């Protein structure tokens, strides 16, 4: 694997292999081309950007306590992080996402297809944003040089954010050019589909995505003096207008010899066989649960996201609800998000509505905040409430259709703010927490609000926690929470001097807030 990644680094560096000996030029295998057109490069960049976040989602839902392990194992939900727990988050951006996208940009510029340039830049901004939000400072200005520089310096996260906004701006400008300016259509269907696998050639949706991403990144800056709720709301106004705009990819049945293209949350991959739902989550959903957040109010999503028998447990405490139908596997696999052929979301309309609600609330516009908050709740319920039957690995689950009567009943319940006076940050963030189930963005929110017990009322400090996060067990005020992923193992091995320069080799590195998480 190390040699493979090193080779990839050479390839994406560009120019490192360009001066081949002449004998190589006459021995080129026609079945293994050394160049390609942008419609064959863009899909790899898009799909790998989604795969990058999918792999991050193997870690972050344990930190946010949306799920926990049924049997304590001194692992993620107790804040024990293996060396290089950010490997995929880091390596996918540099070797797979950017490797494809940078080549797509070069090819598209050469042939005159600006829409491909725009889609590639917006996708790279999306992937870079995810990378830095999970890890903090990362290489960029000295990256992608191949053999010319195997030890790129780490750029400060503030600078990385400027790069993200620049890429979004540039991508939007390219997407706004008329379709007639493109030599090649953004979505090609003959002889087989290629190109824009995300929005199938809809440039308008790409522009909306750029603004949705801008709104998300700007909202991360709530601890900074430069934060502008109005700037966030201005971006929201130009972003998604319905769930039809969501940035998501549908999983498909693998075509041999391809395997493993099912959901990372699903039964086929079995990444969560030892997991169950957290008490933290279920107290929001199940009004009959002990210490329910809203006693007597059962969220209609409870029967879709979990099961009526799910009881959950806390991190580091044995418990949860196995289901016999899957040979003692987790009740997690009876949930809507665990469908093997479901889809993976990066950023959605319902998330955007909660971003709008929070920004409007901070701006003092309670009317807009309340409206967006309630729209976000309804959008999420509608999205996961369409019913259907899921079958995989001997497990069959039928999801109920959530009716308008159920939606209205919940929106009119005590679990939802009914007027401006009832609305506060706790109400907004708890509903966003539910709607962003398994999405790493939920961790960004919890860090921005310092895991506050008045915002996240069900959050439990892990039993048997890693001592680094609990240096003085007798003093709860000294408890610390994870603020970033650890550096990639490839970086600690091949670029240790620059990793050390940011403190990445220090034992308490994961406890240190990233730039936007600092006041």
For residue 25, what pLDDT band results from cuts at 50, 70 and 90? Answer: very low
Q: What is the 3-state secondary structure (H, E, C) of 58-126?
A: CCHHHHCCCEEECCCCCCHHHCCCCCCCCHHHHHHHHHHHHHHHHHHHHHHHHHCCHHHHHHHHHHHHH
Q: How far apart are CA 438 and CA 295, in angstroms?
A: 25
Q: 18 pLDDT band (50/70/90 cuts)?
A: very low
* pLDDT digit string, tens, across residues 316-348: 999 987 665 444 568 999 999 999 888 999 999
The per-residue pLDDT for 258 is 61
- Report cis status (omega within 30 of 0) of the bond before 191: yes
pLDDT (average), residues 253-265:
73
Highest mean pLDDT among 45-49, 334-338, 387-391: 45-49
**Mean pLDDT across 162-170:** 98
In contact, 5 and 490? CB cutoff 8 Å: yes
* Gap between the Cα atoms of 500 and 154, Å rounded: 10
- Would you give the end-to-end CA distance of the chain in angstroms? 39
Task: Give the integer Cα–Cα distance in Å for 4 and 101.
Answer: 19
pLDDT of residue 395 exceeding 90, the answer is: no
- Tell me the three state secondary structure of residue 12: helix
> How does the average pLDDT of the chain come out, rounded?
91
Q: Look at residues 137, 126, 211 and name the one whose alpha carbon lies nearest to residue 516.
A: 137
Q: Could you report the per-residue pLDDT of 69-117, keeping only the tens digit for each?
A: 999 989 999 999 987 789 999 999 999 999 999 999 999 999 999 999 9
Per the omega criterion (within 30 degrees of 0), is the bond before 90 cis?
A: no
**Which pLDDT score is estimated for 462?**
97
Q: Which phi and psi (to 5°) does residue 149 adopt? A: -160, 100
Average pLDDT estimate for 158-166: 98
Across the strands, what pairs with 392?
395
Q: What phi and psi, each to the nearest 5 degrees, are found at residue 491?
A: -75, -40
- When mean pLDDT is compared across 293-307, 332-346, 355-369, 496-510, the lowest value belongs to 332-346
Q: What is the CA radius of gyration of the chain?
A: 23
Contact between 392 and 266 (Cβ < 8 Å): yes
The rounded distance, in Å, linking the Cα atoms of 498 and 500 is: 5
Please state, for a pLDDT cut of 90, what percent of the chain lies above it. 82
pLDDT band at 32 (very low <50, low <70, confident <90, very high): low
| 171 in Cβ contact with 45 (< 8 Å) | no
Q: pLDDT tens digit string along 48-63?
A: 999 999 999 999 999 9
For the stretch 471-514, pLDDT in tens is 999 999 999 999 999 999 999 999 999 999 999 999 999 999 99
Cβ proximity of 447 and 273 under 8 Å: no
| Section 447-474 average pLDDT | 96
Instruction: Tell me how far apart the alpha carbons of residues 383 and 388 are, in angstroms, rounded to a whole number.
Output: 12
Q: Is 371 exposed, middle or buried (0-12, 13-18, 19+ CB in 10 A)?
A: middle
Nearest to 302 by CA among 290, 310, 312: 310
| pLDDT value of residue 323 | 64
Separation in Å, CA 132 to CA 164, 214, 224, 317, 444: 10, 14, 17, 32, 11
Lowest mean pLDDT among 153-157, 308-312, 365-369: 308-312
Q: Mean pLDDT throughout 378-404?
A: 92
- Dist. CA 280–CA 340, nearest whole Å: 25
The pLDDT of residue 267 is 86
Distance CA 185, CA 180 (A): 9
Residue 255 predicted with pLDDT over 80: no
pLDDT at residue 6 above 80? no
The stretch 388-413 carries a mean pLDDT of: 92
Reported as a pLDDT band with limits 50, 70 and 90, residue 364 is very high
Per-residue tokens: 438: 């398994």
Measure the CA–CA gap between 102 and 88, rounded to whole angstroms.
19
pLDDT of 21: 37
Residue 13 is predicted with a pLDDT of 40
Model confidence at 253, in pLDDT bands (50, 70, 90)?
Answer: confident
Residue carrying structure tokens 């290489």: 139
**Three-state DSSP class for residue 311:** coil
Confidence class of residue 370 from pLDDT cuts 50, 70 and 90?
very high
d(CA 437, CA 423): 22
User: Do residues 16 and 146 make contact, with C-beta atoms less than 8 angstroms apart?
Assistant: yes
Q: Long-range pairs for 12-19 at CB < 8 Å and ≥24 separation?
A: 12/94, 12/95, 12/98, 12/99, 12/102, 12/144, 12/146, 13/144, 13/145, 13/146, 13/147, 13/148, 14/102, 14/144, 14/145, 14/146, 15/146, 15/148, 16/146, 16/147, 16/148, 17/146
Neighbours of 352 (CB within 10 A): 28
Q: Say if residue 214's pLDDT is above 70.
A: yes
Token code pair at residue 399: 């999801």
How far is it, in rounded angstroms, from Cα 229 to Cα 355? 10
What backbone torsions phi and psi does residue 35 show, to the nearest 5 degrees? Answer: -145, 165
Fill in the DSSP letter of residue 278.
B
Mean pLDDT of 175-202: 96
Q: DSSP class of residue 345?
A: E
- The residue assigned the tokens 């769930």 is 243
275: β partners = 69
Q: What is the per-residue pLDDT across 112-156, written as a single tens digit (0 to 9) for each?
A: 999 999 999 999 999 999 999 999 999 999 999 999 999 999 999
Distance CA 350, CA 10 (A): 40
pTM of the full predicted structure? 0.93
| pLDDT value of position 300 | 98
Q: How far apart are CA 400 and CA 302, in angstroms?
A: 10
Query: CA torsion angle for 344, 349, 352, 357 (degrees, to 10)?
Result: -130
The token pair at 517 is: 């998480």
């Amino acid at each position: 694997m190390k040699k493979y990644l090193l080779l990839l680094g050479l390839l994406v560096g560009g120019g490192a292999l360009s001066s081949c000996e002449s004998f190589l030029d006459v021995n080129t295998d026609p079945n293994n081309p050394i160049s390609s057109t942008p419609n064959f490069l863009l899909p790899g960049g898009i799909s790998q950007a989604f795969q990058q976040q999918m792999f991050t989602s193997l870690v972050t839902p344990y930190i946010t306590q949306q799920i926990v392990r049924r049997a304590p194992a001194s692992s993620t939900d107790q804040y024990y992080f293996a060396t290089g727990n950010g490997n995929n988050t880091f390596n996918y951006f540099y070797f797979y996402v950017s490797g494809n996208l940078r080549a797509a940009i070069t090819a598209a510029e050469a042939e005159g297809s600006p829409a491909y340039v725009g889609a590639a830049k917006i996708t790279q901004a999306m992937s870079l944003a995810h990378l830095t939000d999970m890890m903090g400072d990362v290489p960029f200005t000295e990256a992608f040089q191949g053999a010319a520089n195997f030890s790129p310096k780490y750029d400060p996260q503030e600078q990385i954010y400027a790069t993200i906004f620049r890429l979004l701006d540039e991508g939007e400008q390219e997407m706004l050019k008329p379709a007639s300016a493109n030599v090649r259509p953004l979505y090609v269907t003959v002889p087989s589909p290629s190109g824009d696998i995300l929005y199938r050639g809809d440039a308008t949706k790409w522009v909306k995505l750029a603004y949705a991403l801008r709104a998300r990144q700007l909202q991360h800056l709530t601890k900074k003096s430069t934060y502008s709720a109005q700037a966030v709301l201005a971006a929201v106004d130009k972003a998604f207008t319905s769930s039809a705009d969501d940035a998501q990819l549908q999983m498909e049945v693998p075509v041999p010899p391809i395997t493993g293209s099912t959901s990372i949350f699903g039964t086929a991959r079995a990444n969560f066989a030892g997991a169950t739902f957290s008490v933290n989550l279920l107290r929001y959903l199940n009004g009959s649960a002990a210490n329910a957040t809203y006693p007597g109010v059962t969220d209609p999503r409870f029967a879709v996201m979990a099961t009526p028998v799910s009881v959950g447990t806390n991190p580091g405490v044995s418990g949860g609800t196995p289901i016999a139908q899957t040979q003692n596997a987790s009740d997690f696999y009876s949930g809507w998000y665990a469908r093997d052929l479901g889809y993976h979301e990066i950023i959605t309309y319902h998330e955007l509505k909660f971003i709008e609600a929070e920004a409007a609330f901070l701006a003092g516009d309670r009317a807009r905040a309340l409206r967006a908050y309630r729209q976000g709740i309804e959008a999420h319920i509608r999205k996961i409430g369409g019913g259907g039957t899921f079958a995989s690995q001997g497990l069959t689950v039928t999801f109920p259709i959530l009716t308008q009567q159920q939606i209205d009943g919940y929106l009119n319940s005590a679990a939802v703010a009914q007027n401006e006076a009832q609305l506060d940050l706790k109400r907004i963030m708890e509903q966003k927490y539910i709607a962003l189930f398994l999405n790493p963005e939920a961790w960004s929110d919890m860090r921005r609000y310092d895991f506050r017990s008045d915002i996240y009322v069900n959050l439990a400090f892990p039993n048997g926690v890693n001592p680094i996060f609990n240096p003085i067990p007798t003093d709860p005020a000294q408890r610390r929470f994870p603020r970033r992923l650890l550096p990639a193992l490839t970086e600690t091995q091949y670029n240790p001097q620059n990793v050390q320069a940011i403190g990445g080799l220090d034992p308490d590195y994961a406890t240190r807030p990233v730039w936007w998480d600092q006041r």
